[in-house]
Chains A and B, each alone.
Chain A
């Protein structure tokens, strides 16, 4: 039972799924670090990404062009994010600051409900799966489903791109500056509300990307974003809210704990191990592994 092969396989699948969870967590933490708000409807942007991917593959591009559908789905979610930010989130900043948290929480919760209900109302409670004709791939000695490997590779590319833009472009500099001081960047002549819009778009696009990538694995249905979003929030607590390396490392950690828990303890409780880790972290290192110093109060 405790063979090396099983350990290696469990490790690989844990890392692979962990990186995808990290995409979700990154979206949450990125929006938070710029806008100081939590978008509770992340799972619904994930859901929209997966529906877009399904529709593109099933009706427009065909399964051979799935790789083309993925950036298009993510871009679609990005555009939708811009609209949502403009229509619903921007007005937060016309309110007194102490009301912002309440407003953001309630509005994004209502948005969650609205999008979920619309998906059920329009497409029914059915499960769809975008056809995937990717073959089984050998990762080292292990056979892996092609769709999972492809999702992993795409996620790595997206993460590299995200990091590159943030680290080396002028716009990335502006984004990082905004996360440090919203007032400070305004004195440097940066349009903070414009930054917000793009940051919100990028954040939800990361969720949409995860949705599109995981569509063949976790299927497409109105509440399919739920589990991944819960993982995303758990990762954010483990890694520390506002920390980008924290999101990545905690994502992989969560993926590993889950897959080892499933393989060696009981697979029925796969989705619970993460929460146990969250409680442990909160009890012993409440700032998270890479938490910002200002986390307390």
Chain B
């Protein structure tokens, strides 16, 4: 990154928009009940997962199908450290982030030299292997019995968790936005548009891809580690493929490859899924159909509805 680099004005606008939104959500506890806050907290968790996956898939064109597994790596690392060694969360969570990033780095180094499709295959196999391992080695991981994780706060009320995840989502979103507006972000989009051309212009595409993959895996690990300390009980269910599918659904419904997409896709999808839970499997079937129809007719999600509003807003303020 050169020293003369300056963020474009769009970066500052996005940061303002994120902060305003966060301020609005910070007022939500005044009107929302405990259950609604709980659902929103989980919604923020998915905002982080969906946004960081979108960084890789939507902006760089590299499909990881193990994003949920990296979240589980973060969650289980912190959980196991606490369970076996009594390590507190402030050690466990960073350890989870580091381990998720390391897994991403190693896996990325092995497959990102090759065509994008190999990343998808290798991450899919990785996720299922982690799933199988967590189930099989139950003496260490507690498998399907569930690993109980110490909660972050001594109160059982959802309020402190709500603010924790809100702040976490805000920090992650600003970080991702900074990354997208940085030179690395331009390299990412260049790779997605035409990798061969990016290479011919002197971009070390493999290194960029490995960096982005590790970063997005680390963010997933971060979200997962906090999530574990929030829900208090981990099971291999966390790496069920429907979790990954959920992330993809959120990004596609919100708007694939747009910054706003996963943010406005994740929380509503999570909320609707929570309230449709009683219909069980039909719930997922309906969302899968929506995604197929969306992909079939237009690849732009909800974000495309907001784009003109966003442009008009700033056009008015700045002449």
The answer to whether A and B assemble together is: yes
A interface residues (Cβ-Cβ under 8 A, vs B): 32, 38, 40, 88, 91, 98-99, 101-103, 105-107, 109-114, 116-118, 120-121, 226-227, 230, 233-234, 236-237, 241, 268-269, 271-272, 274-275, 278-279, 282-283, 286, 295-297
Cβ of A40: which chain B residues have Cβ within 8 Å of it?
65, 124
Is there contact, CB below 8 Å, between A233 and B136? no
B163 an interface residue at 8 Å Cβ cutoff?
no
Is there contact, CB below 8 Å, between A121 and B291? no
B81 an interface residue at 8 Å Cβ cutoff?
no
Cβ of B289: which chain A residues have Cβ within 8 Å of it?
110, 114
Is there contact, CB below 8 Å, between B128 and A226? yes
Cβ of B136: which chain A residues have Cβ within 8 Å of it?
268-269, 271-272
Is there contact, CB below 8 Å, between B295 and A286? no
Total number of B residues with any Cβ neighbor in A under 8 Å: 52
Is there contact, CB below 8 Å, between A110 and B295? yes
Is there contact, CB below 8 Å, between A112 and B245? yes
Chain B 237-261 interface mask (CB, 8 Å, partner A; 1/0): 0000110010011001000100000
Is there contact, CB below 8 Å, between B199 and A102? no
Residue of B57, B248, B288 with most chain A CB atoms under a 10 A cut-off: B288
Q: Separation in Å of the B281 CB from the closest CB of chain A?
A: 4
B305 an interface residue at 8 Å Cβ cutoff?
no
Cβ of A105: which chain B residues have Cβ within 8 Å of it?
63, 120
Q: Which of chain A's residues has its CB closest to B196's CB?
A: A297
Is there contact, CB below 8 Å, between A272 and B129? yes
Question: Please, how many angstroms separate the alpha-carbon atoms of A279 and B121 in the complex?
Answer: 12
Given contacts A278-B122, A286-B114, A297-B114, contact A113 B128 (CB under 8 A): no
10 CB contacts below 8 A, A to B, read A101-B116, A102-B61, A106-B248, A121-B281, A121-B285, A233-B124, A236-B121, A237-B118, A286-B110, A296-B113
Q: Separation in Å of the A269 CB from the closest CB of chain B?
A: 6
B308 an interface residue at 8 Å Cβ cutoff?
no
Q: Is the interface of B mostly helix, strand, loop or mixed?
A: helix
B193 an interface residue at 8 Å Cβ cutoff?
yes
Question: Please, how many angstroms separate the alpha-carbon atoms of A230 and B194 in the complex?
Answer: 30
Q: Separation in Å of the A89 CB from the closest CB of chain B?
A: 11
Cβ of B193: which chain A residues have Cβ within 8 Å of it?
98
Partner pick for A297 among B126, B195, B245, B248, CB 8 A cutoff = B195
Cβ of A297: which chain B residues have Cβ within 8 Å of it?
113-115, 195-196, 199, 205
Given contacts A121-B281, A234-B125, A283-B110, contact A110 B199 (CB under 8 A): no
Is there contact, CB below 8 Å, between A117 and B281? yes
Question: Please, how many angstroms separate the alpha-carbon atoms of A232 and B281 in the complex?
Answer: 26
Q: Separation in Å of the A156 CB from the closest CB of chain B?
A: 26
Is there contact, CB below 8 Å, between A88 and B292? yes
Is there contact, CB below 8 Å, between B110 and A114? no
Is there contact, CB below 8 Å, between A296 and B299? no
Question: Please, how many angstroms separate the alpha-carbon atoms of A83 and B99 in the complex?
Answer: 44
Q: Is the interface of A mostly helix, strand, loop or mixed?
A: helix
Question: Please, how many angstroms separate the alpha-carbon atoms of A57 and B289 in the complex?
Answer: 31
Is there contact, CB below 8 Å, between A117 and B110? no
B interface residues (Cβ-Cβ under 8 A, vs A): 57, 61, 63, 65, 110-111, 113-118, 120-122, 124-126, 128-129, 132-133, 136-137, 192-196, 199, 205, 241-242, 245, 248-249, 252, 256, 280-285, 287-289, 291-292, 295-296, 299
Q: Which of chain B's residues has its CB closest to A275's CB?
A: B129
Known pairs A38-B120, A102-B256, A230-B125; list 12 more (Cβ under 8 Å): A91-B296, A102-B57, A110-B249, A112-B241, A113-B288, A116-B284, A120-B280, A121-B281, A237-B118, A286-B113, A296-B114, A297-B199
Is there contact, CB below 8 Å, between A111 and B288? yes
Q: Separation in Å of the A268 CB from the closest CB of chain B?
A: 5
Cβ of A279: which chain B residues have Cβ within 8 Å of it?
110
Partner pick for B284 among A113, A226, A278, CB 8 A cutoff = A113
Question: Please, how many angstroms separate the alpha-carbon atoms of A128 and B57 in the complex?
Answer: 38
Is there contact, CB below 8 Å, between A103 and B114? no
Is there contact, CB below 8 Å, between A99 and B110? no
Question: Please, how many angstroms separate the alpha-carbon atoms of A290 and B287 in the complex?
Answer: 39
Is there contact, CB below 8 Å, between B299 and A103? yes
Q: Separation in Å of the A173 CB from the closest CB of chain B?
A: 26
Question: Please, how many angstroms separate the alpha-carbon atoms of A274 and B122 in the complex?
Answer: 12
Is there contact, CB below 8 Å, between A241 and B125? no
Question: Please, how many angstroms separate the alpha-carbon atoms of A101 and B287 in the complex?
Answer: 21
Is there contact, CB below 8 Å, between B125 and A118? no
- Ranked nearest first, the 9 interchain pairs of A and B with the lowest CB-CB distance are A114-B288, A117-B285, A113-B288, A120-B281, A110-B291, A275-B129, A117-B281, A282-B110, A117-B284
Cβ of B116: which chain A residues have Cβ within 8 Å of it?
101
Question: Please, how many angstroms separate the alpha-carbon atoms of A91 and B57 in the complex?
Answer: 21
Given contacts A101-B117, A269-B133, A296-B114, contact A114 B128 (CB under 8 A): no
